[in-house]
Structure 1
Amino acid sequence: MRAPLSWLREYAALPAEATGRDVAAELIAAGLEVETVERAGADLRGPLVVGEVLAIEELTGFKKPIRYCQVDVGRANGTGEPQNIVCGATNFSVGDRIVAILPGGALPGGFEIGSRKTYGKLSEGMICSVSELGIGEDHSGILVLPGRPEVGADAIELLGLRDDVLDIAVTPDRGYALSIRGVAREAATAYGVAFTDPAGDAPSDDGPAYPASIADTSACDRFVLREVRGLDPAAQTPMWMRVRLSRAGVRPVSLAVDVTNYLMLELGQPLHAFDRTKLSGEIVVRRARPGETLETLDHVRRELDAEDVLITDASGPISMAGAMGGLATEIDEKSTDLVLEAAHFDEIATARMVRRHKLHSEASYRFERGVDRELPVRAAHRAAALLAELGGAEAVPGATVAEAPVAPRAITMAADHPDRVAGVAYGRGTVVSRLEQVGCAVEGGDTLTVTPPSWRPDLTDPSDLAEEVIRLEGYEAIPSRAPRPAAGQGLTPRQRLRRRVGRALAGAGYVEALNVPFASARDWDSLQLPADDARRRALRLANPLSEDEPLLRTTLLPGLLKTLARNVGRGFGDVALFERGVVFRPDGDGVPAAPRLSVDHGPSADEIASVDAALPDQPERVAVVLAGDRERPGWWGAGRPATWADAIEAARTVAREAGVELRVEADRHEPWHPGRCAALYAGDTLVGHAGELAPRVIKAYGLPPRACAMELELRGLDEPGLPRAPHVSTYPVATQDVALTVPADVPAASVESSLRAGAGELLESLRLFDVYTGEQVGEGHKSLAYTLRFRAPDRTLTAEETTAARDAAVAVVSERTGATLRGA
């Protein structure tokens, strides 16, 4: 919202010395987001005066029209003699009043004006266009002043060319600030000065105008029509209105259109004008019917949806309510009889319609954020009065007001509620006075009954009212105190585990990535998921940030793989990433709708249970992806590419932080390579998978060959507690090596678990240090060589004890896997 300071001063009695920056500072302190303050015309320097064209000489011999003009500028040039000015525009005639800048002046942008010879003539200044004066984007020609302003008058003051313009970013809950009326009220409150409501009092006109009715009161609860007749189509918009519209960012078009736009900016009430001669029958506000279409003012024929809100007559749809009018009933250069429409449309219905048709407009922007329900009658009355005053029209007495009754909203609030919210003792008197400044009607003692004003539909509960008191009293008045946690409380075991996992993976060389929790159905295809895979069953967002990713993710892998692809595409070929986060896994019966809880009390156990029941299962997971070299080459030696084993080791790193030993088994699970995929078990619970990605997945995401990934569910690990330091024995270790020949299809993990089971409590650790396949072990077999470390906590082991433990381990692995000692 662009708000010229001069326009605000018209309704708020601001101090004369207050600049645009001063007002912006006060509005920011009151909670409005003033982004910039533009000092329009600050670099404009006179003499800039009103002139009258006395004579025009057409110069010939040039490729474009060139005119040598004599311009009367009064005594502004010090002599009273006509000023000779060369001009290339042709849209003005002898006798027209124009704006001329004389030598020594400067236009916006630092464009200095002097006397110079051009096209064989001496030009003593310049005749200005709208764009050159900085009050619009019209490049079509010279600004011809309407009326007969005094020759030689100061054009800077006459046109209001110097002004401070506040550019305000209006948040969705403050729709009232999308108007000069709303911003001026905030400024008056901030300075504690008088405010004059530009909407005025409700008119007392009796009797209906053009017939109208509301067929669907859920879409519109107030619809107002007024008529004006005999409008002069040639009547021009006065310069003061054109300048204000341009300063506010709206292009002037014609008097009728400019008046409706002007009042929309001033009051916040969008209006629309129909050509009365193009209407047929009663106007009805209703929803669209099957098969209906409408060609809007932008010359697009639109297929209408059953939820669209329309303004119709006997011929069918004539306007998309609150968004854009229809082409068939638009006003044109011949329109003299108009029907003015002002209404209060439903915010949600308007928002859905404009998003459905991608038809955003200044009007819909305001309706989406809530318009004052009391404004339509007043705005239509003011529009008719302005058209009568400026365009010679006759405002037909009476107005058609179709409406549905709406009960006033009353909010019950404890008088000390703002005090408890802010931690500041405001007192009842301050609370009441601040709420009354906002426009609320307040009654009661310790418990207040507050009726918000019609222009504040965002005030719906006690906390909204508390916010009004707090912001008007000043956020800076709230003391800054660090919260003091209760003794003995801190991070939960789950939070500590989450932090330990992050630190462990970062220490292992992984970089954390934070991705949005959204996905698309294409991701499931890219991951090669089967049609019946549970990960394909995802929740669809009702209002997604992007139509490309409308689903809640059921796995962390799509986001990580896309991040990996972006890094590789930017030249980072050796990448190791990890992410922690929740996934959303609805069950087969779907998810019930979540209840809307009241904010005037804490939720009960039943209410919390009902909310929990409406939520999908949200397990927390950790995932990693790797590509390129895991160890880079250098003077220290050769590097090593990332492999499936690194993905499995990442899972073990996570599990160690939870105090869990993972069991690894071969598996087939998308999106991993069928022969290079490991299932990860904590006890008998499947907690994740790791390995090398399938070639089709790598191709779908544009990843380097042999890229690897791991995904692990933290909830599947044992309930974390404080990690316990292992007991460190002071006695020496005894080492035994064993080489086993096993069938080639026996997993090393099965051999390892058998060795552990047979070695007993004396086994401290074991490590696979060699894998051999070849003629010496026979076809279909492999040799696995392990180092077993034995240690006792209370004594030095003898050779007989370690040999017995080794032999016991060999016996168990032979029984379970058919392994034999190599060379035996």
Structure 2
Amino acid sequence: MLIVMSWLREYVAGLPPTRAVADALIRAGFEVEGLRSVGGEFSGVVVGEIVDFEIVETKKKAVRWCQVRVAESAGAEDAGAESAGSRGEGVRGVICGAHNFAVGDRVAVALPGAVLPGGFEITARRTYGHVSEGMICSARELGLGEESDGILVLAPRAPIGADVAELLDLADEVLDIAVTPDRGYGLSVRGIAREAATAFALPFTDPGAPADPAAVPGPAREAYPVVVEDTAACDRYVARVVTGVDSRATTPLGWQRRLSLSGMRSISVPVDVTNAVLLGLGQPLHAFDRAKLAGAIIVRRAVAGETLRTLDGVDRTLDPEDLVIADDTGPIALAGVMGGASTEVSATTTDIVLEAAHFDPITVARTARRHRLSSEASRRFERGVDPALAPVAAALAVDLLAELAAARPEPGVTDLDHRPAPAPVTLPLTEPERLAGRPYPAEVVRRRLVDVGCAVADGSATEDLPGVLIATPPSWRPDLTRPADLVEEIMRLEGYDTIPVTLPSLPAGRGLTAAQRMHRAVGRALAHAGFAEVLTLPFVPEDAADALSLAAADPRRAAVRIANPIAEDAGYLRTTLLPGLIAAAVRNIGRGQRDLALFESGLVFRERERIPTDVVTPPVDRRPSAAEIAALDSTLPGQPRHVAALLTGRREPGGWSTPARDADWADAVDAAHVVAEAVGVTLTVRAGNVMPWHPGRLAELSIDGRVVGHAGELHPRVLSDVGLPPRAGAMELDLDALIEVASAAPPMIAPTISTYPPADRDVALVVPIEVPVADVTAALRAGAGDLLESLTLFDVFEGAQVGVGQRSLAFGLRLRAGDRTLTAAEANAVRDAAVARAAELTGASLRA
């Protein structure tokens, strides 16, 4: 909202400088986005009088060679100009292409050296056979209006030689204020003036104060017949009629300037008057050409199939939910949004019916959005217009039309008033302190509510409620409906900066939970292992599962659809972290970074089998109970936290002594072990077969028989589809499942460090190729017992030497006792027990 300060000062006398006003409005909760000074866009423009002129014919058009007196006694000052002595003292010769002036008119003349808006400097120059010593200006050339039919003709008594900027009082300042949706009254000079007057404790001259009924001309009768069929959507409708509008009347320059600075273009007197009232009071008006109306005005809902051509020239098909203004011919306006072309006032209009109404904000907002038609009127009705303003605004518009266009007000006023009685709000005097955290004396609470415009009564006197105020909000504040709204106004007017800033004190011993510490431990462990963390959006396209070639029965295909997605190509919640990691990797590869080790920890979303439909939303005046919170959570999708990693390109760089090593499936498995070790659990590794991984290079990861994730090389088809290089590896783990197991496990006991030497034994076992390595490893550990310090697989061999369908697994066993040095016999006995146990459980035999 652009607020012209000269206009604001008409309502509030004694305001300090504009910068102080802006600061006060900011302190009162308004966002002042800018402050600019106007009127200094040009200099060196003076009042001149047309002494004489002659027509100069040219090939294209006829121009005038004008003799303009710019001073009562002055000579020509420019050395290159023709002598002015023969034309009289202070007379300049100027070429002008306009013809809307006569001898004796006072005009604005830019003399050589003058600067016009845009930095355009005026010089004397020869043109059309004469030396033009300046320029006769139009209103547009001076930045006073958008359109111009010729030069600007000033008042007959304008002093010759006077500075035009000073004469027209063009110096002004404009505030640019962003008005929040709950403060519709701020979309007017009246509303901002009230706030400024309150901020500086100055008297406020309310231009929207109800008019004296005795001041309405004529008997109390209808000005024009009106029928309101939907009184809920239109609870007040005022109509006034004026006749004899002078079509030749023009809007005074001062009003044009005021409208222009407020962001509106001057069009005609009737339109300018309605816009001026809208900007000044905040009440939208509409002017109908009375000659184009057929019968009474009817406020009703549209009928399906009806059409209306609005003022912007667009034919619109109406919806039955649209509120329209109609007559006997059908709809003639979209109520609160835009008028219709069929009843538009024009240059030939002499009789006008003025509409000042109050429409339901929701109805107007839905109509404006339905037709994608936002207007200055709809912008205000959506945010709430003062319903008491309608007769005042109509009366002001009638007075302005009579003053500016010689219009004659018709007797009577049509005022259909169906407004509900204002609802009082009960405010305990202790409520401001409870909500704000600082005390507010009772007299301050009362004074600030009165400043807002509330009618305040003592509850003990009216309702037998001691310590309570009964506040009836003013008509221009429809947002004040509950005690918290009133408290907000008190806090705002007293200053948010007066509220102490205190941080709540936390109970001792509170810190990160065990799960939070594990989350951080996982991130640190992967970062130490050379992985870079990325954060990706949880939104994926509908075909995300197809890109990963997931099976039809895979639960990761059941993605949850977002009700209001930020983009149609990302309308679902992710069921796995891999799509985001893949997209990040593809983006980096496209920028030349091919050696990647990325990880992400975040929530995935899984559809529940059954979502209850009978959950009731709890009230907001108290904290929901645990049962209510659980019921609300049951309507949401499952949200486990996962951790995933992706590797492409080189895992180890090459050097002069060693070649580079590309990342492979084993690196993805190692990343999973890094995560497990960080939370204190051990993963069991088995061969797996699930997309999007390569079936022969995939490890299924489990704990106590519960599958918690997978790691390995991605399937070649997936790599080709998503644009990743061959051999890219990935792992994904259910981090919540790991933490659940880790939290249930007993505390870890630090191992005892033995000072005695180890005993190393190697064994090579031949097992059927289908036997998992994990089973052989577990059997060896079980057979070796407590003396086993570590077990390492260091060789895998398949070939004719071990037989078809068999493979050799070579393990290194490190044995150590904490209280003695093991003898060879003891070490061999442990080795033999481990081999025996492996033979018993897996069918392994010692390789010959």
Runs of 4+ with >6 A deviation: 63-66, 76-80
**3-state secondary structure, aligned to 2:349:** coil
Equivalent runs, 1:493-512 vs 2, <5 Å: 493-512=514-533
- Residue 795 of structure 1 deviates from its aligned partner by 4.8
Equivalent runs, 1:427-446 vs 2, <5 Å: 427-444=441-458, 446=467
Q: 2:361 aligned to 313, 338, 347, which one?
A: 347
Do residues 193 (structure 1) and 207 (structure 2) align?
no
> Is the Cα contact below 8 Å between 1:644 and 1:691 reproduced in 2?
yes
Q: Which amino acid aligns with 1:370?
A: G
**3-state secondary structure, aligned to 1:46:** strand
> Is the Cα contact below 8 Å between 2:55 and 2:62 reproduced in 1?
no
**3-state secondary structure, aligned to 1:487:** coil
Query: How many angstroms apart in 1 are the aligned matches of 2:760 and 2:300?
Result: 88
Equivalent runs, 1:515-664 vs 2, <5 Å: 515-528=536-549, 534-535=555-556, 537=558, 543-590=564-611, 592=613, 597-605=618-626, 607-633=628-654, 637-664=658-685
Equivalent runs, 1:79-90 vs 2, <5 Å: 81-87=90-96, 90=98
Q: 2:25 — aligned with what?
A: 27
Q: 1:46 aligned to 40, 44, 55, which one?
A: 44
Q: 1:714 — aligned with what?
A: 735
Distance 1:86 1:433, change over 3 A: same
Q: 2:751 — aligned with what?
A: 727
Larger Rg: 2
Distance 1:123 1:465, change over 3 A: same
> Is the Cα contact below 8 Å between 1:53 and 1:98 reproduced in 2?
no
> Is the Cα contact below 8 Å between 1:159 and 1:243 reproduced in 2?
no
Q: 2:401 — aligned with what?
A: 387
Query: How many angstroms apart in 2 are the aligned matches of 1:532 and 1:314?
Result: 63
Query: How many angstroms apart in 1 are the aligned matches of 2:397 and 2:677?
Result: 74
Query: How many angstroms apart in 2 are the aligned matches of 1:477 and 1:449?
Result: 25
Query: How many angstroms apart in 1 are the aligned matches of 2:183 and 2:800?
Result: 81
> Is the Cα contact below 8 Å between 2:526 and 2:675 reproduced in 1?
yes
Query: How many angstroms apart in 1 are the aligned matches of 2:721 and 2:345?
Result: 54
Query: How many angstroms apart in 1 are the aligned matches of 2:299 and 2:556?
Result: 45
* Higher deviation after alignment, 162-171 or 768-777: 768-777
Q: % of aligned pairs identical?
A: 53
Q: 1:367 — aligned with what?
A: 381
Query: How many angstroms apart in 2 are the aligned matches of 1:673 and 1:149?
Result: 94
**3-state secondary structure, aligned to 2:311:** coil
Query: How many angstroms apart in 2 are the aligned matches of 1:91 and 1:524?
Result: 74
**3-state secondary structure, aligned to 1:103:** strand
Q: Number of paired residues?
A: 818
- Residue 558 of structure 1 deviates from its aligned partner by 4.3
Distance 1:372 1:574, change over 3 A: farther
Do residues 2 (structure 1) and 2 (structure 2) align?
yes
- Residue 30 of structure 1 deviates from its aligned partner by 1.8
Q: 1:250 — aligned with what?
A: 264
Q: CA offsets, 1:109-162, max 9 Å, x none?
A: 444434344565333233334554344555x66553587572535432454432
> Is the Cα contact below 8 Å between 2:137 and 2:152 reproduced in 1?
no
Q: 2:486 — aligned with what?
A: 465
Query: How many angstroms apart in 2 are the aligned matches of 1:750 and 1:514?
Result: 37
Query: How many angstroms apart in 2 are the aligned matches of 1:687 and 1:572?
Result: 31
Q: CA offsets, 1:54-113, max 9 Å, x none?
A: 53644636x7886544444454978863433345x5474446664332234333444443
> Is the Cα contact below 8 Å between 1:14 and 1:191 reproduced in 2?
no
Do residues 408 (structure 1) and 422 (structure 2) align?
yes
Q: Which amino acid aligns with 2:517?
A: R
> Is the Cα contact below 8 Å between 2:684 and 2:702 reproduced in 1?
yes
Distance 1:176 1:728, change over 3 A: farther
Q: 2:13 — aligned with what?
A: 13
Query: How many angstroms apart in 1 are the aligned matches of 2:554 and 2:228?
Result: 50
- Residue 284 of structure 1 deviates from its aligned partner by 4.2
Query: How many angstroms apart in 1 are the aligned matches of 2:696 and 2:341?
Result: 65
TM-score by length of 1: 0.86
Equivalent runs, 1:82-481 vs 2, <5 Å: 82-87=91-96, 90=98, 92-94=100-102, 98-118=107-127, 120-138=129-147, 144-145=152-153, 150=158, 152=160, 153-202=162-211, 204=213, 206-216=220-230, 219-402=233-416, 404-444=418-458, 446-481=467-502
Query: How many angstroms apart in 2 are the aligned matches of 1:641 and 1:715?
Result: 31
- Residue 473 of structure 1 deviates from its aligned partner by 1.9
- Residue 194 of structure 1 deviates from its aligned partner by 1.7
- Residue 652 of structure 1 deviates from its aligned partner by 3.5
Query: How many angstroms apart in 1 are the aligned matches of 2:51 and 2:588?
Result: 66
TM-score by length of 2: 0.84
- Residue 453 of structure 1 deviates from its aligned partner by 2.4
Query: How many angstroms apart in 1 are the aligned matches of 2:620 and 2:290?
Result: 49
- Residue 279 of structure 1 deviates from its aligned partner by 3.8
> Is the Cα contact below 8 Å between 1:73 and 1:151 reproduced in 2?
no
Which residues of structure 1 form unaligned runs of 5+?
A: none
- Residue 247 of structure 1 deviates from its aligned partner by 1.5
RMSD between aligned residues: 3.9
- Residue 263 of structure 1 deviates from its aligned partner by 2.5
> Is the Cα contact below 8 Å between 2:48 and 2:108 reproduced in 1?
yes
**3-state secondary structure, aligned to 1:521:** coil
- Residue 404 of structure 1 deviates from its aligned partner by 4.4
Q: Which amino acid aligns with 2:23?
A: A
> Is the Cα contact below 8 Å between 1:461 and 1:600 reproduced in 2?
no
Distance 1:118 1:219, change over 3 A: same
**3-state secondary structure, aligned to 2:288:** strand
Distance 1:747 1:423, change over 3 A: same
Q: 2:78 — aligned with what?
A: none
Distance 1:573 1:314, change over 3 A: farther
Q: CA offsets, 1:393-450, max 9 Å, x none?
A: 3333444445544342333333132223333222222122122212223333522333
Q: Which amino acid aligns with 1:587?
A: R
> Is the Cα contact below 8 Å between 1:414 and 1:448 reproduced in 2?
yes
Query: How many angstroms apart in 2 are the aligned matches of 1:446 and 1:349?
Result: 39
Query: How many angstroms apart in 1 are the aligned matches of 2:378 and 2:2?
Result: 17
Q: Which amino acid aligns with 1:488?
A: G
Distance 1:93 1:446, change over 3 A: same
**3-state secondary structure, aligned to 1:412:** strand
Q: Which amino acid aligns with 2:8?
A: L
**3-state secondary structure, aligned to 2:509:** coil
> Is the Cα contact below 8 Å between 2:541 and 2:571 reproduced in 1?
yes
Distance 1:484 1:395, change over 3 A: same
Query: How many angstroms apart in 2 are the aligned matches of 1:725 and 1:108?
Result: 83
Distance 1:485 1:280, change over 3 A: same
**3-state secondary structure, aligned to 1:10:** helix
> Is the Cα contact below 8 Å between 2:45 and 2:108 reproduced in 1?
no
> Is the Cα contact below 8 Å between 1:594 and 1:615 reproduced in 2?
no
Distance 1:546 1:296, change over 3 A: farther
Q: CA offsets, 1:714-738, max 9 Å, x none?
A: 3323436598573242344444444
> Is the Cα contact below 8 Å between 2:518 and 2:739 reproduced in 1?
no
- Residue 760 of structure 1 deviates from its aligned partner by 3.9
Distance 1:795 1:582, change over 3 A: same
Which residues of structure 2 form unaligned runs of 5+?
A: 76-87, 459-465
Q: Which amino acid aligns with 1:46?
A: G
Distance 1:74 1:485, change over 3 A: same
- Residue 181 of structure 1 deviates from its aligned partner by 1.8
Query: How many angstroms apart in 2 are the aligned matches of 1:108 and 1:809?
Result: 96
Q: Which amino acid aligns with 2:264?
A: V
